[in-house]
């Protein structure tokens, strides 16, 4: 089987196959599989646009394993300001445990050469955690909070305001302080594709959140108090649908009283994997695909 497979750089024509393979490979439960089936056409398109965006801004990090026309596996990585991020990693179930994942990850990691640091938001799949730990990453376990927001818990007097284009500099500054590199073009991609920006910028602290239907897709701040205001402001945007607050590492205990007061439930989730030099990574709720 393995000799039929070609490991090569991804091209734009692979976006459809990459979507198909990763959306079959990544869901771990029936509920997650149902969520994939329920994705709107717009959401599917947004994911393919993300792959194309990553290709456009770093083809050296984009690898597929191809079995003829079929995409058997994919690893997509990005590098921004000396920090390497793994954005997507999946192997079709029929091709697993033959070393394909390892080869794809090794290729994507070549792109990390010369980088100060690297990060991965891992699933809780044992093979994924094994691959990352053996590649020299330290694993930081996380919790994720989910559920419907209890509206009567929302506090008054939050310092948050809507972000504008002129805030991108502040966002980059906070990113460099908290995670060692700005998101740059990836933040612009998120804001172009339906997410929006909240900002706090006053004498007590600076920070920002990127929000998606009441869930924080990304949040970073200079003080825990600022991060708390931003997280409440994200949750305040929910309109009765369940929200998710993922990637709560042991360093994000500031977030725990917020999610509990909001009535969300905590459950264990995959680790944040880190290597090399990054920022303090707190207060910080990273983005899964862009960290």
Ligand X SMILES: CC(C)(COP(=O)(O)OP(=O)(O)OC[C@H]1O[C@@H](n2cnc3c(N)ncnc32)[C@H](O)[C@@H]1OP(=O)(O)O)[C@@H](O)C(=O)NCCC(=O)NCCS
State the residues that interact with ligand X by CB under 6 A.
25-26, 89-91, 96-102, 122-123, 125-128, 130-131
| Cβ 112 to ligand X shortest distance, Å | 16
Longest CA–CA span in the chain (Å) reads: 62
Of 139 and 256, which CB lies nearer to ligand X in the complex structure?
139
Residue 81, Cβ density class (10 Å: 0-12 exposed, 13-18 middle, ≥19 buried): middle
Of 101 and 207, which CB lies nearer to ligand X in the complex structure?
101
| Cβ 230 to ligand X shortest distance, Å | 26
Residue in this structure with the two tokens 């920070």, named with its chain if needed = 207
| Cβ 225 to ligand X shortest distance, Å | 32
| Cβ 73 to ligand X shortest distance, Å | 6
Residues facing 66 on adjacent strands: 6, 71
Of 137 and 232, which CB lies nearer to ligand X in the complex structure?
137
Of 53 and 131, which CB lies nearer to ligand X in the complex structure?
131
Pairing relation of β-strands 117-121 and 83-91? parallel
Nearest of 83, 73, 86, 87 to residue 6 by alpha carbon: 73
Cα torsion angle, 62, 39, 37, 27, sign: positive
The answer to whether 205 and 132 are in contact (CB under 8 A) is no
The answer to whether 142 and 271 are in contact (CB under 8 A) is yes
Of 74 and 221, which CB lies nearer to ligand X in the complex structure?
74
Of 123 and 160, which CB lies nearer to ligand X in the complex structure?
123
The answer to whether 28 and 35 are in contact (CB under 8 A) is no
| Cβ 76 to ligand X shortest distance, Å | 11
| Cβ 75 to ligand X shortest distance, Å | 8
Q: Give the residue nearest to ligand X (CB).
A: 101
- Cβ neighbours of residue 23 under 8 Å, at least 6 residues apart? 36, 39, 47
């Amino acid at each position: 089987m393995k000799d039929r497979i070609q490991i090569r750089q991804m091209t734009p024509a692979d976006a459809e196959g990459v979507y198909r393979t990763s959306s079959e490979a990544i869901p771990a439960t029936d509920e997650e599989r149902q969520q994939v089936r329920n994705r709107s056409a717009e959401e599917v398109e947004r994911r393919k646009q993300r792959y194309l965006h990553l290709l456009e801004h770093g083809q050296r990090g984009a690898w597929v394993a191809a079995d003829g026309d079929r995409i058997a596996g994919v690893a997509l990585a990005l590098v921004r300001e000396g920090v390497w991020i793994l954005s997507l990693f999946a192997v079709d179930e029929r091709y697993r445990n033959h070393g394909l994942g390892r080869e794809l990850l090794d290729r994507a990691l070549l792109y990390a050469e010369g980088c100060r640091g690297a990060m991965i938001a891992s699933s809780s799949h044992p093979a994924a955690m094994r691959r990352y730990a053996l590649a020299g990453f330290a694993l930081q376990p996380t919790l994720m909070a989910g559920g419907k927001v209890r509206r009567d818990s929302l506090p008054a007097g939050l310092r948050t305001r809507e972000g504008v284009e002129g805030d991108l500099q502040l966002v980059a500054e906070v990113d460099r302080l908290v995670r060692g590199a700005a998101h740059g073009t990836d933040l612009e991609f998120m804001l172009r594709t339906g997410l929006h920006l909240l900002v706090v910028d006053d004498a007590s602290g600076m920070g920002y959140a990127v929000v998606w239907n009441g869930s924080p897709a990304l949040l970073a701040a200079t003080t825990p108090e600022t991060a708390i205001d931003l997280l409440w402001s994200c949750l305040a945007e929910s309109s009765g649908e369940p929200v998710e607050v993922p990637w709560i590492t042991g360093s994000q205990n500031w977030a725990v009283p917020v999610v509990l007061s909001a009535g969300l439930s905590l459950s264990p989730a995959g680790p944040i994997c880190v290597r090399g030099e990054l920022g303090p990574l707190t207060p910080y709720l990273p983005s899964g695909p862009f960290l």
